[in-house]
Amino acid sequence: MSDRGVIDRFVAYLRDHNLPVTAQRLAIAEVVLGSDRHLSAEEIAQAVAARGTAVGTATVYRAIDTLLESGLVVERDFGEGFRRFEPARDIPHHEHLVCTQCGRVEEFRDERLERMTTIVAESRGFARQRHRLVIHGICGSCQRGAGGAARIRGDA
């Protein structure tokens, strides 16, 4: 299930920074790094609790901070009013396709887009740093009438 190698890298990061390797940090790291979804802080807490080692909310957020600082996890904001987190995989950068019905998130990569953003930014005098593209639509299974659930705050 969870990729041992990534956990080891997190432990190495903790050691490097003289940060204690606690059971809570490990449990949280295993959940986030082992997930292929974009988890919210609450979902992380629930998943950790489901494994038998419940942790406090503050601990989840503090562990997430550490994971973000380690670079092993990245945060996402889909305009839901809260953040989501996902393992920073080898993929250098990718865009998101979000189902407005069930909340499912798919990823994709497009190099043309990458180039295009640089050109646009420069044409307006901006030094491009990064970009973010989210396409909203209805996924295949929802189009076929599978009852969805999640609701996200509309943004243009």
Partner DNA sequence: ATAAATGCAAAGGGTTTGCAAAGGC
Partner DNA sequence: GCCTTTGCAAACCCTTTGCATTTAT
Does residue number 135 form part of the binding site for its own copies (CB under 8 A)? yes
Q: Least separation, in Å, of the C-beta of 119 and DNA? A: 32
Of 39 and 139, CB closest to DNA: 39
Dihedral-angle region of residue 52 (phi above 0 means left; psi in -120 to 50 means alpha; beta otherwise): left
Member of 23, 52, 124, 147 binding its own copies (CB under 8 A): 124
- State residue 103 phi and psi, 5-degree precision: 90, -5
Rounded to whole angstroms, how far apart are CA atoms 85 and 77? 9
DSSP 3-state assignment of 50?
Answer: helix
Neighbouring CB atoms inside 10 A of 49's CB total 13
Residue number, 6 or 64, with CB nearest to DNA: 64
Which of 1, 91, 127, 149 touches its own copies (CB under 8 A)? 127
In the list its own copies, DNA, none, the entry touching 72 (Cβ below 5 to 8 angstroms by class) is: none
To its own copies, the closest distance from the beta carbon of 23 in angstroms equals 28
